[in-house]
């Protein structure tokens, strides 16, 4: 199997054998793995340092797109109590029950399926109705 094309084809057709082989090799070569991780961390740090501005632009674009998606979702559903739906920033997600895994605001970097799963557990409320709801809960 000295031919690279043949090796690639074999690897593609036998993923479990490749996985087992790599695992065995890694177990038998822990020093190499440790050094590889160190080198890889150095490369990642250097890459982030060299491409800092580019990464910031990419992240900002992603956050803006995600915010737009979330705000459009909130506006399209509106407040469940009073029906307000003019400004997405004035609407918030209120988790009902104890199945809250994350705050939607902290999930802006997660994949959309995961965010959407968490959104489905929520009711959308305007800021006023949300504050009043929590005030009522405090009084109970």
What pLDDT score does 127 carry?
94
Please state the domain count of the chain: 2
Dist CA 57 CA 83 (whole Å): 36
Interval 115-124 mean pLDDT: 88
Dist CA 135 CA 133 (whole Å): 5
Q: Please give the model's pTM, rounded to 2 decimal places.
A: 0.59
Residues 6+ apart with CB under 8 A from 86: 75
Interval 123-135 mean pLDDT: 93
What pLDDT score does 36 carry?
84
The answer to whether position 46 is within a domain reads: no
Parent domain of 106: 53-139
Closest CA to 84 of 135, 125, 121: 125
Query: Can you give the C-alpha Rg of the chain in angstroms?
Result: 24
The answer to whether position 127 is within a domain reads: yes
The answer to whether position 47 is within a domain reads: no
Same domain for 60 and 112, yes or no, is yes
Reported confidence tier of residue 50, pLDDT bands at 50, 70, 90: confident
Same domain for 66 and 110, yes or no, is yes
Same domain for 64 and 88, yes or no, is yes
Token pair recorded at residue 87: 């400004």
Q: 3-state SS string over 35-101? A: HHHHHHHHHHHHHHHHCHHHHHHHHHHHHHHHHHHHHHHHHHHCCCCCCCCCCHHHEEEEECCCCCC
Reported confidence tier of residue 1, pLDDT bands at 50, 70, 90: low
């Amino acid at each position: 199997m000295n031919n690279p094309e043949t090796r690639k084809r074999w690897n593609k057709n036998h993923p479990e054998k490749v996985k087992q082989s790599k695992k065995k090799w890694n177990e038998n070569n822990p020093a190499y793995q440790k050094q590889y991780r160190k080198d890889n961390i150095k490369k990642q740090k250097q890459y982030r340092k060299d491409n800092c501005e580019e990464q910031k632009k990419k992240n900002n674009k992603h956050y803006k797109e995600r915010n737009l998606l979330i705000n459009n979702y909130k506006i399209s559903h509106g407040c469940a109590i009073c029906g307000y739906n003019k400004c997405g920033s004035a609407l918030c997600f209120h988790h009902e029950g104890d199945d809250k895994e994350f705050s939607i605001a902290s999930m802006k970097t997660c994949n959309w399926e995961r965010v959407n799963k968490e959104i489905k557990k929520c009711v959308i409320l305007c800021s006023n109705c949300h504050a009043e709801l929590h005030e009522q809960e405090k009084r109970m």
